[in-house]
Structure 1
């Protein structure tokens, strides 16, 4: 499988540890897909010109992720601030709102679209501000989309007709709510819909056929990026084997492994500046 991720890149800044890690949903999925067996993995996003952007780019180089079609601009990188609970859960506590990703939006050129056509799958998310580009991407390859907790009908109607894979976070949802969400996405045109629910069983549907998957027990160090690792594991395995149950089992194994390390996929860097 060849996959390209289009959208966010950030550094997750751990205030308690005075360290930051490369991350962002789309970067995490690109890196993990490559680790899990994708023959090619690339990324398109907007980079700042600060030390944090340099570190993200360096990490992508270490992982063999191409990013030549990305944009580079003057400004600071996304840098959400994070603290960890004693149980290893990450708690976001704000961050600057004048980052390059806040200031500009990614719009795809014909050259970008020709490049995207080389790939089997494109992953993006609600954090990427690229919803208006989805119809163009759909003409070139299948799309995977992480909604996080965005479940408003208006937003679903905007996104679901253009994507093949939909991923949601739904620990707060009842089973009836989940079934309604799944049905809504299917009716809008999405083939595969999945809801992760924290420590509860994962629920997925392929064209109305429901699949459940328990999580894998693990010693939790840091939950950062576990959901992105799940997505990458599922997409990589399913794209090659088309087996839902096996893909979900592989995905929860991947998520458990990510919970056992610091940061979304490693590469710590000293956090020098003081936060106000």
Structure 2
């Protein structure tokens, strides 16, 4: 095998709580992660010169060692002393800097692809262990599906598959600084409202979409929405147009909504398009790897 093409799937957070701040500055989290069928395309080809290079359709993305794809490829190539190199072509569709683990899922795809190309025989657990060296979300992006994430996001427990339903994903034309959001959270940590993650897990196990939507919560909304009120406007628009529930993913600014049926979801997509509030808008579905 000299080349491989892969889908790098996006994630949303059905629940996101921050439970503490560690001495090293990292935040302890308790999150429910869910993969959705929105993806970047990652193509990897062997090269003879031993270099690791990449190209992407978005000119503003770095294609040097700052890119997680490059870091992922070099991690395995260096560890296994591979003499050949790789070239990575990345076709981005997942919104960038949007709380959907776009960079992490691309890196996870590169780990998977390099493992296959060079027949390294690493299983999923081994890839996840290496992924955490690149970023806290990378192990989950290797794992995929529905999962509880704890620690700094790297302690993962599989959950039963999420209820299948249409998912509308909307990103306004703004970017959010994750560092700024967490710094703002630190300043008001004792006053924010923490979601009921355990109750949410119970509703996922019961397959109760209405219950899930009633308990969905993201503690970071308390700090991100005051900085970017358009997030609340998008949530409200989705709810007004039939969403069972709507919430910000990660540190934002992406908003997702769950719907009971495709007809309602399509109408909501059309209605949101007309507002001009969003730059990227996708109607997709849950991904389940089990």
Q: What TM-score, normalized by structure 2, do the two folds share?
A: 0.28
- Higher relative contact order (Cα pairs below 8 Å, separated by 6+ residues): 2
Give the number of the structure whose residues are more often strand, by fraction.
2
Q: What TM-score, normalized by structure 1, do the two folds share?
A: 0.29
Rg larger for:
2
